[in-house]
Structure 1
Amino acid sequence: MPSSAHPVPRLDITVLDPGGGEPERAVSRTLSVLRLVGLCLVAGLLVAAVCFPVVGAAGLLSNETGDAAADSAKAVLGKEPPVLTTLVDSTGQPLAVVYDQYRFQVPTDRISQAMKDAVVAIEDQRFYEHAGVDLLAIGRALLTNSVSGKVSQGGSTLTQQYVKNHLMHVAATTEAERDKASEQSAARKLRELRTAMQVEQELSKEEILGRYLNTVPFGHNSYGIGAAARTYFDIPQERLSVAQAALLAGIVNEPTALNPFRHPDRALARRNVVIDEMAKQKRIPVELADAQKREPLGLAPEVARPPNGCVGVGDAGYFCDYVLTHLAKAGVSKEDVQRGGLTIRTTLDKDALTKAKSAVDAQVPPDTEHVANAMAIVKPGKDKHRVVALAANRTYGLDRTKNESTLGLPFEPQNLGAGSIYKLFTAAAALEQGMAITDSVTAPPTFTSSTFLGGGASCPAGERGVRRYCVRNNEGSDYPPRMTLQDALATSPNTTFVQLLEKVGVGAAVDMAQRLGLRSLATTVATEDKKKRTVGKFFTEQNFGSFTLGPTPTSTLELANVGATLASAGTWCPPSPVEEVLDRQGRRVPLREEPCAQVVDPELADAMTVGMSKDAISGTATAAAKEYGWDRPMAGKTGTTQEHKSAGFLGYTPQLAGAVFTFDDTSTPTTLCDPGGSAPPKPCTDGRFIYGGKSPARTWFQAMNGTGAEPGIMTAMDRAELPSVEGPYGG
């Protein structure tokens, strides 16, 4: 029930003369009495200003100030405090928390009674008697501070403290607003007093006390009793002992100076003062007080506040980072995440993450210089593509001396290409233009294009001295003169796909790559001629035959999502890490996500699945598949850049699509070798170069073994045998 108006208490003062008669002491007593009278007059003016704003205090308060106090009361009562946002995995288990202020609300009726008693005893023993402003406390504080010559005692009630803390830590969202809420001025203090009196008319004492204990800062960026109990004792606040509650109540106004982790002796002394006050005011028995004062501080071994954000949450750091990045693009503001108390249900599969992390670390240990190994796994679907795992060998963190990183290695485009994986886009464009996956293609050892220019020094000169684009197949490769497009995808001859790109056109291949999932090709960049173009448009306008060999910056997650698109019968969806977002009341928060779309014919997607199905059987990933005993249907494609600075592998099953990208993650990438065995990739010049069929493919098969074996999307791979695709895409 709202509290009723309280009568203004009478200030009774008795001056006792201890005797002695010395002139100095008499003068001192006289001055003290005169000072007290003056202070009482000040208190009287203060009361007049609070109760009658149109008079008193030389006009410090006016009707305008009264209106401001009314507005302040509305702000205090109407705005909910910031609380932490929680990210949970696909099973509902906590993943990470994000907060501006570490706080979670505790219902008033569940707040520890010991905590209520302790804070009332030390901060406002007349809390249940006054009407928001305690004139006795004000007079006592004025007298004490005047006699001591410094501010040693305050006169603010818990209601006033609640008002001030709410205006500073809840209502204020800018530094200017916080400065205004804490400015040292008579106007601010009087406005605070009037606001407190208005709050008392609207809320019961228990409601005010509960709100205060949920709002006030306790240090270490912990706000409210729920967070404080966790931070200092690592227990729920319901389990606070009298001694623990007294410690928190004692440090609340000076959490830095009385920090028990840094100043245990000061904190202990202050705690015992609170316990003594609780006993003196008969809030606890004297015997209990004596026993509690003998207790140690009982702190947690270290500050128990959880990590704020993605650093410190373990293997899920990259996934957590991607969730926050995705939400920002989906219309959920940073302030909403940090202050809104959201529950973010993510798509993270911790089992898949554990296997992916184990695999990327096994192939490239986290402390390997120059070499990052990243993996992304996406669950296909015609209504949603769910990101189930993001992993990298680099620990997600800020310590560069330990090769930690926060650069979004598994999901942000990296400044190196994925190599021959891009050949699948040329093949898909050819299918769309009428070719069949069983059609025959040629694979000469070398090829000089009559269409593409911009070749290296070893390429022949064309018109006006501009060198034509020329390519050769990998040294030691032994390709037959002709093969099917399916076999070409498995064995990856460079010359075949540059010839094919001549026929379909760079623009068609770029468009296919974007449709299937490489949306970063639409990123605008400053090109060599200093004109702004998208990556895809640049390759198209320049008519670069190298596009099919994959030199462009590549996102591991986008590659995985390409596999998900093909596994979903040609349906593209944005790679989403979020199932739903709920606000603090449990209502669903709308997300602005791009809708799914049928980007290629289902028959074309099936043809590409069949076309890529030999990579683990007779193609470039065969050795890696055998090493890990792979025996399930899958489609895959390896890739390596020309200078062996990066390599990748894209593979998918009916249930899951995954991509691995292994690359030099320094600012000046160099050629990498992959000797195999127990030796990780490393910078080199000895010729045992890295390829997509080595560390990247081994990472994929290790991670995906036994992962995602549940029923998935029906595609060509679900059949007992992989048939030839009929119609325009097969023979």
Structure 2
Amino acid sequence: MSMPRHERLPAYRVLSHLLVMVAVAVVLGVVVAGLAIPFAGVAGLGARNVAKTMDSLPEELDTQDLSQRTTILDANGNRLASIYDENRITVPLKGISRTMVKALVAIEDYRFYQHGALDLKGTLRALVTNQANSGVVQGGSSITQQLVKLTLLDQAGNNKVKRAEATADTYARKLKELRYAIALEQTHSKDWILERYLNTAYFGDGAYGVQAAAKHYFNVNAKDLTLRQSALLAGLVKNPYGYDPTKFPDKALERRDVVLDRMAQLNVIGQDKADKNKDKDLGLDVQEVDNGCLNSRAPFFCDYVLAYLMQDEQLGATRRARLNLIKNGGLTIQTTIDMNAQADADAAVADHVGKKDPAIGALAIVEPGTGAVKALAQSRPMGNKSKQGETYVNFTIPKEYGGANGFQPGSTFKAFTLATAIDQGIPLTQAFNSPSPMTFDQADFANCPGEGTFGGPYVANNSTGTGTFNMYSGTRNSINTYFLQLEEMTGVCAPYELAKKMGVRLTDPKAERYPSFTLGIADASPLEMAEAYATFAARGLHCDSRPVTQITDSDGNVLKSYDPTCTQVMQQSTADAVSDVLRGVLQSGGFAAAQALGVPAAGKTGTTNEQKAVWFVGYTPHLAAAATIAGITPAGQPDTLVGKTIDGTYIYEASGSGFAAPIWGDALRPLTANGPYDDFVYPTGVEGVGVTSVPQPPPPRPGGRGGRGGGGRGGR
């Protein structure tokens, strides 16, 4: 049974093109411009066999969305970084200058709007012209045919086998390309094909598509390309590398002039105009578009953005799918980074820790009430670790995003016990005699329900004083034995769980949830600590850290919004009381008084056991920041800071107030200088608020039996 006419029609059209090509081959005895099917291969084919062969080929070319570069923006909409496999920005035909369109058509396929998929007349003319000029002056393939080849190469990606198939000089490949070209002409307009070609073509030096090329070579948009600029770009598509103006300016100039002469020959422009432009230089204004985070103004923040998005399953079912979308989807990623805050953070860290020092200095700044990450800075710049003073490890963020393990935060963890005690109704006037050393029986500390009990002796020391203290004075002086006694009242479980709710990634209770938890034995990153303390600034409202606010696709449509994710994790009065206590650390007599700002602020120092890391975590009502300096060996292992020279200063004794707090102060001082003068809310309904004096000490408590210990050294 014969096929219906509408099903046979494509094969007949293909056959007519093949017969024309055969005729050309017969007359000339050659393969015309590499397009015609070799005569020897076609001569033995009957028309019926050719039609059958064509019918077996796919009818349409799968024109998927073109790969486009993704742009990461700062909070003010300025470009922070670009991510791409191919540096391309697609634009509509109306967004490309008519001069550029005319230049390309003139040199590549001047009869584009008059012929179908194959231009026999143009092919013959190209052959004669090229032979007369002893080289390739005019293209022989139609723009449609070129688009097919470019598309097949693009779809092949880095697959060597598929790329070889897309460029093989075989009968099958040429038949396939011709079939696709005819299908494109049947299903798409000439303008669509031309627009697609201009956005697909490679223009050399990493620029794909005319818009990227215009910005790269001339720093203009495609719609604003001038005649000489258009002629240069139009000439590049024939040999993007050989005519690359950044590598071979003389050859590029020669090729540009060929295009100008061709335009004059076709009366697209006058010869006088062509000659006038030929007298001009290339007029380059090369703009580099770095790929990735390495050369970004905030490389580690950029790194965090990518890691954050790679965990978002709404952007793709697999990591590979998410990476493909980010690198090729033409996205615009709006982030939270404040470049003023970033500059201040970078300067503050660099002023206190050298990039080649045997330590890491790091700082994270977060906005309370939104979780917006404003800045991430560290002392070692992004780069190959084989170069001294460089690293690809992001020490500012949690390990789950590809960061380091973090560092023990020391006495900054005491704030979690403080908040728990206040939330449980323990008055701020609660006093304990706090000697040093002091032996604790860990069986006296309640664990989480069903998790068993602690046991054994634990001997704790104070490095910042002894005596009787309440919550105000015990915090201001960072008394270890005071907070261990307070934790006996609260139990270990409650402050541990509160820290998790406030953003600290605690994942191993068997190693972290011990009485010494309050002394900061669990590792944490600066971002985690800034996020946690931002909860106090926001009056108990915890907001997950987020570096991104919105993603739009290549057409400007919102793909996803990242709104604040917040939960009230403690009473407002509890957070207010914590702020009232912690502000004493920055007031006269407090360890960090030297870092007082021009606006109300609160915070806590921290120094770990063996002085391997020092911390200061503090906040205002509008900003929270965590600064740390941590000793590190050449192999990347934690190491004591004592005996090291950091930023030219030999360290005899390390402290959070003396080393980490100045980073915090130097970063926040300029950021808050012109900001609003808002105070913390004074706590109401909290027993003992404002009572900083300590009553007569109770009788000394006896030492207990003992158990597992470790942890912080104190909090100066």
Q: TM-score range by the shorter chain?
A: 0.7 to 0.9
- Evaluate the alpha carbon distance shift between residue 281 and residue 9 of structure 1 in structure 2; reply closer, same or farther with a 3 A threshold: farther
Asked whether the 8 Å contact 1:250–1:270 carries over to 2, the reply is yes
Shift of 1:568: 1.8
Q: Which has the larger displacement, 346-355 or 175-184?
A: 175-184
Deviations 1:23-51 (CA, angstroms, capped at 9, x unpaired): xxxxxxxxx997725769x988789x99x
* 1:264 paired residue number: 249
Structure-to-structure mapping, 1:26-175, within 5 angstroms:
36-37=28-29, 55=47, 61-65=53-57, 68-70=58-60, 72=61, 75-76=62-63, 79-138=64-123, 155-169=140-154
* 1:444 paired residue number: 435
Match status 1:278 vs 2:260 = no
- Evaluate the alpha carbon distance shift between residue 190 and residue 618 of structure 1 in structure 2; reply closer, same or farther with a 3 A threshold: same
CA distance in 2, matches of 1:204, 1:35: 32
Shift of 1:598: 1.9
- Evaluate the alpha carbon distance shift between residue 489 and residue 619 of structure 1 in structure 2; reply closer, same or farther with a 3 A threshold: farther
* 2:365 paired residue number: 377
Shift of 1:623: 4.1
CA distance in 2, matches of 1:651, 1:376: 11
Partner amino acid for 2:112? F
Structure-to-structure mapping, 1:565-584, within 5 angstroms:
565-584=535-554
Shift of 1:622: 3.3
Match status 1:326 vs 2:329 = no
* 1:529 paired residue number: none
Deviations 1:666-712 (CA, angstroms, capped at 9, x unpaired): 4144322599xxx845796x62x221102211111222125257888
Match of 2:183 among 195, 198, 213: 198
- Evaluate the alpha carbon distance shift between residue 653 and residue 310 of structure 1 in structure 2; reply closer, same or farther with a 3 A threshold: same
Match of 1:418 among 399, 409, 433: 409
Asked whether the 8 Å contact 1:603–1:729 carries over to 2, the reply is no
Structure-to-structure mapping, 1:249-398, within 5 angstroms:
249-300=234-285, 303-314=286-297, 316-331=298-313, 332=315, 333-365=322-354, 367-381=355-369, 384-398=370-384
Partner amino acid for 2:371? H
Deviations 1:425-484 (CA, angstroms, capped at 9, x unpaired): 22233334442222112321211222179xxxxxxxxxxxx984322111xx333x2111
Q: Quote the RMSD (CA, aligned, Å).
A: 4.0
Partner amino acid for 1:663? A
Shift of 1:347: 1.6
- Evaluate the alpha carbon distance shift between residue 693 and residue 39 of structure 1 in structure 2; reply closer, same or farther with a 3 A threshold: closer
- Evaluate the alpha carbon distance shift between residue 713 and residue 512 of structure 1 in structure 2; reply closer, same or farther with a 3 A threshold: farther
Give 3-state SS (helix, strand or coil) of 1:488's partner. Answer: helix
Asked whether the 8 Å contact 2:548–2:562 carries over to 1, the reply is no
Deviations 1:283-333 (CA, angstroms, capped at 9, x unpaired): 222222223233223333xx523112222122x222222222222223332
- Evaluate the alpha carbon distance shift between residue 493 and residue 55 of structure 1 in structure 2; reply closer, same or farther with a 3 A threshold: farther
CA distance in 1, matches of 2:486, 2:22: 101
Match of 2:656 among 692, 702, 723: 692
Asked whether the 8 Å contact 2:483–2:518 carries over to 1, the reply is yes
* 2:449 paired residue number: none
Asked whether the 8 Å contact 2:414–2:483 carries over to 1, the reply is yes
Structure-to-structure mapping, 1:576-595, within 5 angstroms:
576-590=546-560, 595=565
- Evaluate the alpha carbon distance shift between residue 561 and residue 713 of structure 1 in structure 2; reply closer, same or farther with a 3 A threshold: farther
Shift of 1:664: 2.5
Partner amino acid for 1:694? G
Partner amino acid for 2:465? D
Partner amino acid for 1:478? G
Shift of 1:160: 1.2
Asked whether the 8 Å contact 1:621–1:697 carries over to 2, the reply is no
CA distance in 2, matches of 1:396, 1:643: 28
With the length of structure 2 as denominator, give the TM-score of the two structures: 0.81
CA distance in 1, matches of 2:55, 2:690: 84
CA distance in 1, matches of 2:36, 2:257: 35
* 2:594 paired residue number: 624
- Evaluate the alpha carbon distance shift between residue 309 and residue 645 of structure 1 in structure 2; reply closer, same or farther with a 3 A threshold: same
Shift of 1:558: 0.8
- Evaluate the alpha carbon distance shift between residue 150 and residue 263 of structure 1 in structure 2; reply closer, same or farther with a 3 A threshold: closer
Structure-to-structure mapping, 1:576-615, within 5 angstroms:
576-590=546-560, 595-615=565-585
Asked whether the 8 Å contact 2:217–2:287 carries over to 1, the reply is yes
Task: State the percentage of identical aligned residues.
Answer: 35
Asked whether the 8 Å contact 1:516–1:566 carries over to 2, the reply is no
Asked whether the 8 Å contact 2:408–2:523 carries over to 1, the reply is yes
Partner amino acid for 2:274? A
Asked whether the 8 Å contact 1:569–1:606 carries over to 2, the reply is yes
CA distance in 2, matches of 1:723, 1:201: 75
Shift of 1:274: 2.3
Q: Which has the larger displacement, 93-102 or 138-147?
A: 138-147
Q: Which has the larger displacement, 86-95 or 560-569?
A: 86-95
CA distance in 2, matches of 1:728, 1:175: 74
- Evaluate the alpha carbon distance shift between residue 492 and residue 97 of structure 1 in structure 2; reply closer, same or farther with a 3 A threshold: same
Match status 1:536 vs 2:509 = yes
- Evaluate the alpha carbon distance shift between residue 115 and residue 538 of structure 1 in structure 2; reply closer, same or farther with a 3 A threshold: same
Shift of 1:615: 0.6
Structure 2 residue ranges without an equivalent (≥5): 1-12, 316-321, 445-454, 692-716
Q: Which has the larger displacement, 593-602 or 172-181?
A: 172-181
* 1:550 paired residue number: 520
Asked whether the 8 Å contact 2:68–2:88 carries over to 1, the reply is yes
Partner amino acid for 2:310? A
Asked whether the 8 Å contact 1:60–1:186 carries over to 2, the reply is no
CA distance in 2, matches of 1:36, 1:681: 78
Q: Which has the larger displacement, 594-603 or 571-580?
A: 594-603
* 2:616 paired residue number: 649
Give 3-state SS (helix, strand or coil) of 1:100's partner. Answer: coil
CA distance in 2, matches of 1:723, 1:591: 35
Shift of 1:575: 0.6
Q: Which has the larger displacement, 159-168 or 550-559?
A: 159-168
Asked whether the 8 Å contact 1:431–1:729 carries over to 2, the reply is no
Match status 1:486 vs 2:448 = no
Partner amino acid for 1:652? Y
CA distance in 2, matches of 1:556, 1:43: 62
Partner amino acid for 1:362? D
CA distance in 2, matches of 1:375, 1:33: 71
With the length of structure 1 as denominator, give the TM-score of the two structures: 0.79
Asked whether the 8 Å contact 2:616–2:661 carries over to 1, the reply is yes
Give 3-state SS (helix, strand or coil) of 2:657's partner. Answer: coil
Match status 1:514 vs 2:500 = yes
- Evaluate the alpha carbon distance shift between residue 450 and residue 135 of structure 1 in structure 2; reply closer, same or farther with a 3 A threshold: same
- Evaluate the alpha carbon distance shift between residue 269 and residue 151 of structure 1 in structure 2; reply closer, same or farther with a 3 A threshold: closer
- Evaluate the alpha carbon distance shift between residue 683 and residue 58 of structure 1 in structure 2; reply closer, same or farther with a 3 A threshold: farther
- Evaluate the alpha carbon distance shift between residue 43 and residue 189 of structure 1 in structure 2; reply closer, same or farther with a 3 A threshold: closer
Give 3-state SS (helix, strand or coil) of 1:672's partner. Answer: coil
Partner amino acid for 1:406? Y
* 2:695 paired residue number: none
Structure 1 residue ranges without an equivalent (≥5): 15-31, 454-465, 523-534
Shift of 1:83: 2.1
Partner amino acid for 1:311? L
* 2:713 paired residue number: none
Shift of 1:149: 13
Asked whether the 8 Å contact 2:363–2:378 carries over to 1, the reply is yes
- Evaluate the alpha carbon distance shift between residue 728 and residue 602 of structure 1 in structure 2; reply closer, same or farther with a 3 A threshold: farther
Partner amino acid for 1:337? I
- Evaluate the alpha carbon distance shift between residue 34 and residue 389 of structure 1 in structure 2; reply closer, same or farther with a 3 A threshold: closer
- Evaluate the alpha carbon distance shift between residue 408 and residue 631 of structure 1 in structure 2; reply closer, same or farther with a 3 A threshold: same
Shift of 1:146: 12
